[in-house]
Amino acid sequence: MLDIKLIRENPDLVKENLKRRQDNEKLKWVDELLKYDKKRREAIAKVNELRKQRNELTEKIAELKKKGEAVDSIIKKVKNIPEEIKKLEEELAKYEEKVQYYLLRLPNLLHESVPYGKDDSENVVVRIVGKQPKFNFQPKNHLEILQDLGLIDIERAAKVAGNGFYYLKEELVLLDHALQMFAIDRLRKKGYKLIQPPYMLRKQAYMGVTDLDAFHDVLYKIEDEDLYMIATAEHPIGSMFMDEVFTKKELPLKLIGISPCFRKEVGSHGKYTKGLFRVHQFHKIEQFIFCLPEQSWQLHEELQKNSEELYQELGLHYRVVNVCTGDIGAIAAKKYDTEVWMADNQFREVGSNSNCTDYQARRLNIKYKEKEGQAPLDFVHTLNNTAIATSRTIIAIIEQYQQKDGSVEIPKALRPFMNGIEILRKK
RNA sequence: GCUGAGGUGGCAGAAUCUGGCUAAUGCGCCGGUCUCGAAAACCGGUGUCCCUUUGGGACGUUAGGGUUCAAAUCCCUACCUCAGCGCCA
């Protein structure tokens, strides 16, 4: 959410930002928002005036009663004021709803370093790391390999839960867990604090951390409950400190979340959906930071470095892209995607790293103050970055480490976390 | 899930029964006086919003409704906390 004062004072800045995002249909929203904001403030003035009148008369009633004098005539005079107030308040509520509608939908201001572009084809490659694996045979995709090894069953998963689910088996389960333990181990050594959050959230908490499209396209809702299955640990961790005030010395607060992630993936038709790439559930280790505004850009690079170190230690070939203005999404001010190389010679996303500046924090009402007992100064900044998303990283490992005989080598970094297993082999 | 007791500012805590009496008082925090400096003491301030801003006003007692001229106070709902009971891996 943007600061209404900023929009009032710099409407052109907000409009320029929308143009860069190619969100041209939202341009008129800025004027609409300001129109309703003005009406809102006028209504507030009127309501205040009426309340003042009522309060004065009410006080007179109390005063006269104390003296034991008659109050009937004043009560008659004041009696219809509450109704007028109510009418005006209803009008005011309408304006407030409008203002809120636009505020919740206007996207974050982009950082100047975000490249201009219309969609993911115009994301800018920042760097390519590692070497493309060379095979002296025709490489297979992960699904074929895993099925040959007998480590996955997606047919039965489809039978009981539908497309997009899977049964992992034996060593593949260990690999999934090893990836998580590996990421946790490395990040804890950097001082990040581990959190296992609730796997469901109320709507109110969810509103603060994501955009409204998510409620339909991404989130599973529990029937008859005000609860949504989380799509990432980012969400329960972001909302964890809702309506709270940090002291400066508590910041930056660097956290690692571990959780399963549940996603509906509505509207993913036509996208790459093979095997484990686009699934309804997977595990993820997530980095999350609450910090002072002046710290966030440096920490954004730190988060990027952290996750790249993991991919490097796993020996994976990957690239990093600076996500362009047309592809970045409403909440981030800047976003890097990390994309791993897959056997069909495509790079595909395994993680993304967002600096949300104060956009999430304003919605969640998370502020900071100089020290205990003082008034809050301003909103904090929030950042989140994938450390490891298991399913997609599994794809990269299986496809990049496959051998001619159909076996798959386990990266050395993972072996201590999976009972020393060095290779996945058909039995 | 049931029963009972609760939820008041950054914190503690009164007012709730019996609606009108500055949300008292203390702590913390900010500023000032004093001091070489600090502590103590004393004085002032300490949430949000609106306006025609040396000022005026509205809102604010977990949240949302209701009753009333008037609600922290009475009624309803949700959420949360505590206690007891029940159920459960």
Residue linked to tokens 């969609």: A119
Both A186 and A324 in one domain: the answer is: yes
Nearest nt to the A65 alpha carbon by C1': B20
Q: Which residue has the closest alpha carbon to B50 C1'? A: A45
Global confidence as pTM: 0.91
Q: Give the lowest-confidence range in A10-14, A58-62, A211-215.
A: A211-215
Handedness of CA A26, A28, A30, A34 (dihedral sign): negative
A48-57 LR contacts (CB < 8 Å, sep 24+): A50/A81, A50/A84, A50/A85, A50/A88, A51/A85, A53/A81, A54/A78, A54/A81, A54/A82, A54/A85, A57/A81
Rg (CA), chain A: 27
- Pull the structure tokens for residue A310: 């993991």
Both A129 and A261 in one domain: the answer is: yes
Name, in order, each residue with C-beta under 8 angstroms of A245's C-beta and a sequence gap of 6 or more.
A366, A367, A368, A369, A376
Both A160 and A44 in one domain: the answer is: no
Kindly report, residue by residue over A5-53, the tens digit of the pLDDT: 889 988 999 999 999 999 998 999 999 999 999 999 988 888 888 888 8
Both A249 and A373 in one domain: the answer is: yes
- Pull the structure tokens for residue A112: 């100047």
Residue A111 lies in a domain: no
CB A262 within 8 Å of CB A231: yes
Q: How many CB atoms lie within 10 A of CB A371?
A: 8
Burial of A155 (0-12, 13-18, 19+ CB in 10 A): exposed
Looking at this protein, which amino acid is placed at residue A49?
A: E
pLDDT score of A69 more than 80: no
Both A64 and A184 in one domain: the answer is: no
Can you give the pLDDT at residue A281? 94
Would you state the torsion angle of the CA atoms of residues A204, A374, A3, A227, taken in this order, to the nearest 10 degrees? -10
Kindly report, residue by residue over A114-130, the tens digit of the pLDDT: 999 999 899 999 999 99
Residue A20 lies in a domain: yes
Q: Give the lowest-confidence range in A92-96, A151-155, A402-406.
A: A92-96
CA-CA distance, A62 to A202, in Å (whole number)? Answer: 44
**ipTM score of the complex?**
0.84
Q: Give the lowest-confidence range in A55-69, A193-207, A239-253, A400-414.
A: A55-69
Nearest nt to the A243 alpha carbon by C1': B62
Both A101 and A151 in one domain: the answer is: no
Domain final residue, candidates A64, A82, A105: A105
Can you give the pLDDT at residue A109? 94
Q: Which residue has the closest alpha carbon to B79 C1'? A: A202
Name, in order, each residue with C-beta under 8 angstroms of A272's C-beta and a sequence gap of 6 or more.
A278, A346, A348
Both A31 and A174 in one domain: the answer is: no
Kindly report, residue by residue over A147-159, the tens digit of the pLDDT: 999 999 999 999 9
Question: What is the domain-level CATH number for residue A94?
Answer: 1.10.287.40
Question: What is the domain-level CATH number for residue A154?
Answer: 3.30.930.10
Residue A115 lies in a domain: no
Kindly report, residue by residue over A224-234, the tens digit of the pLDDT: 788 899 999 99
Cβ of residue A394 lies below 7 Å from strand B: no
CA-CA distance, A103 to A239, in Å (whole number)? Answer: 19
Number of separate domains in chain A: 2
Both A14 and A136 in one domain: the answer is: no
Pairing of the two strands A367-369 and A245-247: parallel
Confidence of residue A258 (pLDDT cuts 50, 70, 90): very high
Cβ of residue A204 lies below 7 Å from strand B: no
Cβ of residue A222 lies below 7 Å from strand B: no
Can you give the pLDDT at residue A77? 77
CB A385 within 8 Å of CB A304: yes
- Give A372 CA → B26 C1' in Å: 17
**A281 phi, psi to nearest 5 deg:** -150, 145
Beta bridge partners of A318: A129, A340
- Give A215 CA → B17 C1' in Å: 47
Can you give the pLDDT at residue A204? 84
Q: Give the lowest-confidence range in A158-172, A199-213, A279-293, A352-366.
A: A199-213
Average pLDDT, chain A: 90
Can you give the pLDDT at residue A268? 67
Both A81 and A191 in one domain: the answer is: no
Kindly report, residue by residue over A323-342, the tens digit of the pLDDT: 999 999 899 999 999 999 99
Nearest of A127, A152, A125 to residue A141 by alpha carbon: A152
- Give A373 CA → B45 C1' in Å: 14
pLDDT score of A401 more than 90: yes
- Pull the structure tokens for residue A293: 């505004």
Residue A343 lies in a domain: yes
Range of the domain at A90: 4-105
Name, in order, each residue with C-beta under 8 angstroms of A95's C-beta and a sequence gap of 6 or more.
A36, A37, A39, A40, A43
